[in-house]
Amino acid sequence: MYKGAILAPMVRIGTLPTRLLCLEEGADLVYTEEIIDHRLMDCRKFEHKNGLVEFKLTAEDNPVLQTCAKEKEKVILQLGTADPNRAVKAAKLCQDHISGVDVNMGCPKAYSTKGGMGAAMLKTPDLAESILKALVQELDIPVTCKIRCLKTLEETVEFAKRMEKTGIAALAIHGRQKTERSRADPCRSLWIAEVAKSLKIPVLANGGSGEIKSRSDIGQFQEKTGTAGVLVARAAMWNPSVFNKDGPRH
């Protein structure tokens, strides 16, 4: 399941229309944008005649999460959380309509890290473990996490190994550290490759959009990192047909 060319989670971008378009163009999996557990766990489910499923607080509110049967077997909910109980409550609400749950441990933005979520979890491995263990135990669908590089390669590999022991199905890693940015700092492809060699579960590579303009480029990045699959972010935002096996369309 966790392999191939995958739409990475992107806030405000990875919504249902984008995900469906990427699937139509050939993406093997699609991640939702990061959704914070607080926002999701108290929602109600609204099912519509056209197959659309929405999770929102009331019928009049804007949806926190939208999905549909067309993507059910291919969509992964990315959850922003810093609490096992909240994580389980939010994930259980929608697990019948998704294929997996991913815990965000890599977002460097303040709205995540100030709440102890995202890349802040790289400094709290015990909490990260407890969240993943709770989700693995309580859910009927696969659980994964997405991390960033830590200060050293050794720390990065050790953290990834600790997360693997929780029973997760796969691990994704962005090849940059918390303070590094895609426009200025190169992706640490060799670090990703080392993590992939060190784990028994599938490892997904993220951070190579600067060198990705086509499906063949995705394959080359996957081969360079020795991973099971590649999460594509900016390249898919610029042109979702980057997933098209016949080549990108205008």
**Total number of domains constituting the chain:** 1
Per-residue confidence (pLDDT) for residue 246, from 0 to 100:
95
Nearest to 25 by CA among 244, 193, 177, 199: 244
pLDDT, greater one: 185 or 245? 245
Question: Kind of pairing, strands 75-80 and 35-36?
Answer: parallel
173: which 2 tokens?
């890693």
Phi, psi at 101, each rounded to 5°: -125, 130
Task: Classify each residue of 196-222 as buried b or exposed e, where b means 16 or more C-beta atoms within 10 Å of its C-beta.
Answer: beebebbbbbbbbbeebebbebbeebb
The domain of 36 spans 4-243
Mean pLDDT confidence for 154-158:
98
Burial of 55 (0-12, 13-18, 19+ CB in 10 A): buried
Q: Label residue 75 by pLDDT band (50, 70, 90).
A: very high
In a domain, 62, yes or no: yes
Per-residue confidence (pLDDT) for residue 114, from 0 to 100:
83
In a domain, 250, yes or no: no
Residue 35 maps to which CATH number? Answer: 3.20.20.70
The answer to whether residue 183 scores a pLDDT higher than 80 is no
pLDDT above 90 as % of the chain: 91
In a domain, 138, yes or no: yes
Mean pLDDT of the chain: 96
Q: One of 107, 145, 149, 187 is an active-site residue; which one?
A: 107
Q: Label residue 162 by pLDDT band (50, 70, 90).
A: very high
CA gap 83, 62 in Å, rounded: 25
In a domain, 231, yes or no: yes
Per-residue confidence (pLDDT) for residue 111, from 0 to 100:
79
Burial of 38 (0-12, 13-18, 19+ CB in 10 A): middle
In a domain, 249, yes or no: no
Per-residue confidence (pLDDT) for residue 228, from 0 to 100:
98
What confidence tens digit (pLDDT) does each residue in 30-48 have? 999 999 999 999 999 999 9
Q: Label residue 108 by pLDDT band (50, 70, 90).
A: confident
Mean pLDDT confidence for 100-122:
91
In a domain, 31, yes or no: yes
CA gap 182, 175 in Å, rounded: 10
107 is catalytic: yes
